[in-house]
Structure 1
Amino acid sequence: MDIFVVILQAVVVIGAIVMGVRTGGLGLGLWGVVGTAILVFGFHLPPGAIPIDAFFIIIAVITASSAMQAAGGIDYLVAIASKIIQANPKRLTYVAPIVAFVFTVLAGTSNIYFALIPIIYETAYRNGQRPERALASSTVTSALGITASPVSAAMAAYLVLMDGTGFGLPQILAITIPASLVACVVTSVVQQRLGKELVDDPKFRKRVEEGAVEVPPVLQAEYAAATGSTATATAGAGDSAGTGLGEAPAATATATPPPPTSSKADRIEHPVPKGGATAAWIFLSGTFLIVLFGLFSGLRPSFPNEDGDLVPIGMSTVIEMVMFSAALVIILVRKVKPSVVVEQPLLKAGFVAAVALFGIAWMADTFISANEETIIAPLGAFIEQQPIMLAVALFLVAGLTTSQSATTNTLIPIALAAGLGPGVITAMWPSLVGVWLFPANGSQIAAVETDLTGSTKLTQVPIWHSFTIPMLVSWVAVVGAGLLVQLFISA
């Protein structure tokens, strides 16, 4: 009977998650709270621990991020990323994924990647490269930045769970950052070898024939030779040909192809509001300060605990103080109206993430805490015998819920209870890259819609799309590299 009741409770938990994913947005968190209510009132389980620290870390970080966005700081970061990407067109498939990763780490959110999508596409298109290679790999590696950022929502949840294990922010970053960089490189190497060259792609040729996209100047001679065409489309310097960013000129006959590379005049310029750089550097200073306090616990004030021993204040408190303070400094220095900060897209997205974390984490803790002997013991024993299954579970649950923080709060407690070392758990934690398993994320859809050549695509099979192979390669590479790195960190 006990097993039957636990199964019913598990159905409630899974059902709430499924309904939350279907509802979308705030729905994930709200269904989590409803699931908790059913467990408490229907099955008389004691309410689990409310994830207060993780919730307020997200609110603090997202408030600072939104203040930076309102002051033009995000535009400043995007402008820098844009210049780096466009300055290395021949190595785009290698440069773009690392840039997407680094800037996600710095901003604490992959939302910054949205602004890079048209830049990556335009750079690939103008230089005659297959856009799918850089777009798909960069989309995937931007998710790796979440588990390597000291100010991401998922890191907020993970730090709270790791409190008391002796594994703090410095140790976590010492594993996730190098492992993710290795994954970025490996993914780029594999991705560079996937798919036909743009001029040989049947879908691209069909779109050219239909007039949906023009042949970039750098490929006009090659395209004419390959197709036997005597007329090719040309674009004047500075036009956003075929990208939807500007009016495309009509096709005209040409005997001599234009220069093979685009000039500086052709580059996309991302305008930065006055004071944007200042806002960005205030935010980044806060991020660096958090890392500094994490590296050197002696810099944190210490107070006596119940045993009378002096203990430094926790990193959760430090992050909240620093990020809220950074938000205020940006508002005061850049004279940003608080009402404008509240209207920023980042704040709305962050609030949704915080509510999702709150509801799912509360429900998971209620269910797991009340059924430790029935759930934790068997699962713990299984994970202890097959530790790699934690990576598989993280990957699949992240794909199903599309929430890195909710997945973290659901599975990491089980791994800790199973007795896995914090280093091993941290090495597998970036398996949250499985969030790209289904094409249900804005970045994936935006990349597909931006690529008018048709090389970046979805298919009728939900789990098979342009992002599948780079996602799987990144997953294997980041976990493998992480497990190697943690041997030195945990030694």
Structure 2
Amino acid sequence: MLIIFIELLVVLLALYLGSKYGSLALGAIAGLGLAILVFDHGLKPGTPPTDVIYIIVAAVTCAGVLQASGGMDWMIQIVERILRKHPQHITFLAPLSTFFLTVACGTGHVMYTLMPIVTDVAIKKGIRPERPLAVASVASMLAIVCSPISAAVVAFSTISGLNGFSISIPQIVAVTIPACLCGIIAASSWSYNRGLDLNKDPEFLEKIKDPVQYAFVYGNTATTLDKQIDKKSKWAVYIFLAAIVLIVILAFAQDILPAFDTVKAIEGASAVALPTGKTVSPSDLASAGIVMAGVTEKVPATIHMYLVIQIILISAAALMIIICGTKPKAAVAGNVWQSGMVAVIAIYGIAWLANTFFGAHMAEVEELLDDMVDNYPWAIALVFFIFSVLINSQAAVVVALLPVAYKLGIPGWILLGALPCVYGYFFIPNYPSDIATVNIDRTGTTKIGKYVLNHSFMVPGLISVAISTVVAYIISSIFF
């Protein structure tokens, strides 16, 4: 047991150091932890989550090309017109805007262009910018579990299917979208009157006594409305949205997907003895595509949905490049593509590390958590949340912990209800979206407190995740 505890410390230390250094370090240092477990402790390496990684690459490529085409600018313009038309409702409209942008694009990093506009609208209306900004930042990341093309959602569907809980992507988002909207509206309601209005805040009033600060706060205007949007940029948006709609349709109607012959092990077939004296299991023969009478057989199998998603998204990216004249180099240089590639490395290292540790000690973990699973299966939501605080990636939490949760015997409908809890990285305000939001607020009302944890995102984050999880749990219990 001491050895297991030491190996767990290696995992946690790798996650802590990766989170401390951030960016690519999250995956790279997880790889260092993996090296220690394999070469020093002799654990058998787990399997890296290649299927999920490929989906992220496809989604990020498609979203990155959309950004490079100018299509995201057009989407932001549409949102800005709504916000400026109804500035009095900015505390509700801003988080709803970032939420639906993330749902559409599959990444929360589309919020960066919108946040200066939210700040500008709030200042001109005399509303404390902290109110809409903090909830909008939380909403943009919580929405990842609601996007049909996000890695977290696709990974949940794929892993669940492999563990006996067959659930499609539309079924997942049919639970998470209404649940997370309830959470965001609750957080927005709490934020509506948080803090003092700008004209009553002594700290802010003291700040703008300085002419330089006054000019900084009131002399700037952030807008995208002065940008000329090319027709080709609009076509890129149409192509992108058509790809998402097609994915949803095919997820609902998988019967129309093409089927191909595949090799499957015959149930009850015994292992095959080789001339060398070794034996080969039917499943190994099937994996190698070898058909052997009485052991394996050819059967038609529908193409997996995770492959369909990859094909459609990559094709959409290609169409945007060919039809809309989008420059591939511009896509690679954009923050959407770059942040997505960082997520790929993080998931690659973290999930591989977790898979190796839990794969080696699954029996001990099952014994340790047996009472919790039997009596408090919903407590897996707390495990998801804590793990997310450490690793700053919802997809990585799903890929690393969901197979473990299924092996522990936790029902799929409970895990679906707990899905909003894979977003917990607002708790320690070191994620780029939160840091950027603090820097974007010219008034200084959105802040990280003296004691770090008393920051602007804490209460909106806790309310959003808690309410979303409760509602998702109720919806999932009713329908699944």
What TM-score do the two structures reach when normalised by structure 1? 0.86
- Distance (Å, rounded) in 2 between the aligned partners of 1:380 and 1:69: 47
Relative to structure 1, the CA distance from residue 297 to residue 205 in structure 2 (aligned partners, 3 Å threshold; closer, same or farther) is same
1:454 aligns to 2:459 (yes or no): no
Counterpart for residue 227 of structure 2: 271
**Cα distance, 1:329 vs. partner?**
0.6
Relative to structure 1, the CA distance from residue 212 to residue 479 in structure 2 (aligned partners, 3 Å threshold; closer, same or farther) is farther
1:187 aligns to 2:177 (yes or no): no
- Distance (Å, rounded) in 1 between the aligned partners of 2:391 and 2:202: 35
The code of the aligned residue for 2:170 comes to: P
Q: Which runs of 5+ in 1 are unaligned?
A: 215-239, 247-265
Find the residue that maps to 2:450 and give its secondary structure. Answer: coil
User: Which runs of structure 2 are paired with 1:39-438 in the superposition (5 Å)?
Assistant: 39-164=37-162, 165-211=165-211, 213-214=213-214, 242=217, 245=220, 269=225, 271-274=227-230, 275-305=232-262, 306=264, 310-438=300-428
Q: Is the 8 A contact 1:16 1:35 kept in 2?
A: yes
**Cα distance, 1:58 vs. partner?**
0.5
Relative to structure 1, the CA distance from residue 470 to residue 323 in structure 2 (aligned partners, 3 Å threshold; closer, same or farther) is same
**Cα distance, 1:243 vs. partner?**
5.3
**Cα distance, 1:385 vs. partner?**
2.0
- Distance (Å, rounded) in 1 between the aligned partners of 2:250 and 2:226: 34
Q: Is the 8 A contact 1:109 1:146 kept in 2?
A: yes
Q: Is the 8 A contact 1:175 1:489 kept in 2?
A: no
Q: Is the 8 A contact 1:203 1:455 kept in 2?
A: no
Q: Is the 8 A contact 1:82 1:270 kept in 2?
A: no
Percent identity between matched residues is 31
**Cα distance, 1:183 vs. partner?**
1.1
Q: Is the 8 A contact 2:49 2:399 kept in 1?
A: no
Q: Is the 8 A contact 1:71 1:273 kept in 2?
A: no
How big is each residue's C-alpha offset from its partner over 1:221-272, in whole Å with a ceiling of 9 and x where there is no partner?
Answer: xxxxxxxxxxxxxxxxxxx9725636xxxxxxxxxxxxxxxxxxx9762525
Q: Is the 8 A contact 1:79 1:270 kept in 2?
A: no
Counterpart for residue 277 of structure 2: none
Find the residue that maps to 2:126 and give its secondary structure. Answer: coil
Relative to structure 1, the CA distance from residue 383 to residue 244 in structure 2 (aligned partners, 3 Å threshold; closer, same or farther) is farther
How big is each residue's C-alpha offset from its partner over 1:28-82, in whole Å with a ceiling of 9 and x where there is no partner?
Answer: 1111222222212112211111211001101111111111111111111111121
Q: Is the 8 A contact 1:368 1:376 kept in 2?
A: no
What TM-score do the two structures reach when normalised by structure 2? 0.88
**Cα distance, 1:191 vs. partner?**
1.0
Higher mean Cα deviation, 77-86 or 126-135? Answer: 77-86
Number of equivalenced pairs: 444
Counterpart for residue 295 of structure 2: none
**Cα distance, 1:319 vs. partner?**
0.9
The code of the aligned residue for 1:179 comes to: A
- Distance (Å, rounded) in 1 between the aligned partners of 2:450 and 2:377: 34
- Distance (Å, rounded) in 2 between the aligned partners of 1:475 and 1:36: 31
Q: Is the 8 A contact 1:103 1:112 kept in 2?
A: yes
**Cα distance, 1:326 vs. partner?**
0.7
Q: Is the 8 A contact 2:46 2:352 kept in 1?
A: yes
Q: Is the 8 A contact 1:380 1:419 kept in 2?
A: no
Relative to structure 1, the CA distance from residue 380 to residue 272 in structure 2 (aligned partners, 3 Å threshold; closer, same or farther) is farther
Find the residue that maps to 1:436 and give its secondary structure. Answer: coil
Relative to structure 1, the CA distance from residue 198 to residue 291 in structure 2 (aligned partners, 3 Å threshold; closer, same or farther) is same
- Distance (Å, rounded) in 1 between the aligned partners of 2:301 and 2:101: 34
- Distance (Å, rounded) in 2 between the aligned partners of 1:379 and 1:243: 56
**Cα distance, 1:173 vs. partner?**
0.9
- Distance (Å, rounded) in 1 between the aligned partners of 2:226 and 2:152: 29
**Cα distance, 1:208 vs. partner?**
2.0
Find the residue that maps to 2:424 and give its secondary structure. Answer: helix
The code of the aligned residue for 2:249 comes to: L
Q: Is the 8 A contact 1:17 1:31 kept in 2?
A: yes
The code of the aligned residue for 2:420 comes to: P
**Cα distance, 1:418 vs. partner?**
2.2
**Cα distance, 1:425 vs. partner?**
0.8
**Cα distance, 1:89 vs. partner?**
0.7
1:38 aligns to 2:13 (yes or no): no
Find the residue that maps to 1:462 and give its secondary structure. Answer: coil
- Distance (Å, rounded) in 2 between the aligned partners of 1:107 and 1:374: 40
Relative to structure 1, the CA distance from residue 268 to residue 171 in structure 2 (aligned partners, 3 Å threshold; closer, same or farther) is closer
How big is each residue's C-alpha offset from its partner over 1:393-446, in whole Å with a ceiling of 9 and x where there is no partner?
Answer: 222221222222222222222221222222221121111331111110222222
Q: Which runs of 5+ in 2 are unaligned?
A: 267-297
Higher mean Cα deviation, 153-162 or 398-407? Answer: 153-162
Relative to structure 1, the CA distance from residue 212 to residue 434 in structure 2 (aligned partners, 3 Å threshold; closer, same or farther) is farther
Counterpart for residue 8 of structure 1: 6
Q: Is the 8 A contact 2:76 2:224 kept in 1?
A: no
- Distance (Å, rounded) in 1 between the aligned partners of 2:172 and 2:370: 22
- Distance (Å, rounded) in 2 between the aligned partners of 1:337 and 1:452: 33
Relative to structure 1, the CA distance from residue 244 to residue 302 in structure 2 (aligned partners, 3 Å threshold; closer, same or farther) is farther
Find the residue that maps to 1:325 and give its secondary structure. Answer: helix
Q: Is the 8 A contact 1:376 1:414 kept in 2?
A: no
Relative to structure 1, the CA distance from residue 173 to residue 272 in structure 2 (aligned partners, 3 Å threshold; closer, same or farther) is farther
Relative to structure 1, the CA distance from residue 129 to residue 213 in structure 2 (aligned partners, 3 Å threshold; closer, same or farther) is farther
Find the residue that maps to 2:260 and give its secondary structure. Answer: strand
Find the residue that maps to 1:303 and give its secondary structure. Answer: strand
How big is each residue's C-alpha offset from its partner over 1:256-293, in whole Å with a ceiling of 9 and x where there is no partner?
Answer: xxxxxxxxxx9762525412111122111111111111
1:443 aligns to 2:444 (yes or no): no
How big is each residue's C-alpha offset from its partner over 1:284-318, in whole Å with a ceiling of 9 and x where there is no partner?
Answer: 11111111111111121123552655432111101
